C-alpha cells in the first residue's frame, strides 16, 4: 500500500531491531500508522513499549530496520541524514520530556535559533511574539537554569510552534512536571495546536492526557494493538 494523500505522517511495516548481548532485541515490529492534517493522535503504552523509538523513526532521527516512513508524502527512508534534517526543519516541531533547551542561550535566543537557521530576517520579533503568547514576555533574557520546569516547557513550546510546523511530535511533554503545571502546559499546547491547525502526535502513558486527543493508538511489546 502506498502513501495516503492526506497523511502528514505515515508508516508501513515499520520495524526496529537493535543488537543486545549475544542476540538482538526487537523494539518495534510491523507498525502501520498514519495521521492526517489537523488530527491529534495519542500513542499510548507502558514504559519500554517502543513509543519514543516510534516517534524518533517518524522524525527521521533514527532509521528503521525494516519498513518505510513518509513525511508529507516524502519517503524519508530514501533520504540521507542531511535530507532528513532539511525535511525536519521545514515540517516538524518537537517537544520533549526533558525540554532540550540550550543552557547557554536565553529563552529568547532558544526560540530565535530555528528561525535564524531557516534564514528568517525577523527572527527576534517572531520569537518575542511567540514567547509573549506562552506567557513569558517578561522572561526573555532568562537562561533555562533560572526558569522553572513549567517555564522551560513553555519556551520549548514557543520554539516548536514559532516555525509553524505541519506536524508536532511531543514525547511525554509533562513527564518532568507536577500535575498542576503539566495541566497548564498541556492546555497551552492544545490551544496553540488548534490555532495553528497543526497535526499532533503525542506519546504518553497518561490516559487523561490521551483523552484530549481525537484518536488513540496503543503500543504493547513493539506492536500496535489498538487504534
Q: Are 43 and 55 in contact (CB under 8 A)?
A: yes
Confidence at residue 118, expressed as pLDDT on a 0 to 100 scale: 85
The length of the chain is: 227
Per domain, the residue ranges of the chain are: 7-226
> Among 166, 154, 173, 159, which residue's Cα sits nearest to residue 212?
173
Confidence at residue 2, expressed as pLDDT on a 0 to 100 scale: 57
**In the chain, beta strands by DSSP E:** 7-20, 23-36, 40-44, 66-71, 74-75, 92-96, 167-171, 199-204, 215-220, 223-226
What does pTM read for this prediction?
A: 0.88
Rounded to whole angstroms, the Cα distance separating 225 from 227 reads 7
User: Residue 109 in 3-state DSSP?
Assistant: helix
Question: Tens of pLDDT along the chain (227 residues)?
Answer: 455 668 999 999 999 998 988 889 899 999 999 999 889 999 998 887 888 899 999 999 999 999 999 999 999 999 999 999 989 888 999 888 888 899 999 999 999 999 998 888 999 999 999 999 999 999 999 999 999 999 999 999 999 999 989 999 999 888 888 888 888 889 988 998 888 889 999 998 888 888 999 999 999 888 898 88
Superfamily name and number for 7-226: P-loop containing nucleotide triphosphate hydrolases (3.40.50.300)
Amino acid at each position: 500500500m502506498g502513501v495516503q494523500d492526506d497523511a502528514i505522517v505515515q508508516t508501513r511495516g515499520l520495524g526496529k531491531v537493535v543488537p543486545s548481548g549475544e542476540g538482538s532485541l526487537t523494539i518495534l515490529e510491523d507498525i502501520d500508522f498514519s495521521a492526517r492534517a489537523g488530527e491529534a493522535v495519542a500513542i499510548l503504552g507502558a514504559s519500554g513499549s517502543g513509543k519514543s523509538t516510534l516517534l524518533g523513526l517518524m522524525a527521521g532521527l533514527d532509521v528503521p530496520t525494516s519498513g518505510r516512513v513518509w513525511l508529507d508524502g516524502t519517503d524519508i527512508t530514501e533520504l540521507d541524514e542531511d535530507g532528513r534534517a532539511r525535511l525536519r526543519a521545514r515540517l516538524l516541531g518537537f517537544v520533549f520530556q526533558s525540554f532540550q533547551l540550550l543552557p547557554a542561550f536565553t529563552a529568547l535566543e532558544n526560540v530565535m535559533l530555528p528561525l535564524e537557521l531557516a534564514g528568517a530576517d525577523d527572527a527576534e520579533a517572531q520569537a518575542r511574539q511567540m514567547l509573549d503568547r506562552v506567557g513569558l514576555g517578561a522572561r526573555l533574557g532568562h537562561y533555562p537554569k533560572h526558569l522553572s520546569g513549567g517555564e522551560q516547557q513553555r519556551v520549548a513550546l514557543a520554539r516548536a510552534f514559532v516555525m509553524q510546523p505541519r506536524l508536532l511530535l511531543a514525547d511525554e511533554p509533562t513527564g518532568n512536571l507536577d500535575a498542576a503545571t503539566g495541566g497548564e502546559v498541556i492546555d497551552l499546547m492544545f490551544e496553540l495546536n488548534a490555532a495553528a491547525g497543526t497535526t499532533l502526535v503525542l506519546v504518553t502513558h497518561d490516559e487523561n492526557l490521551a483523552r484530549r486527543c481525537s484518536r488513540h493508538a496503543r503500543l504493547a511489546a513493539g506492536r500496535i494493538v489498538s487504534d
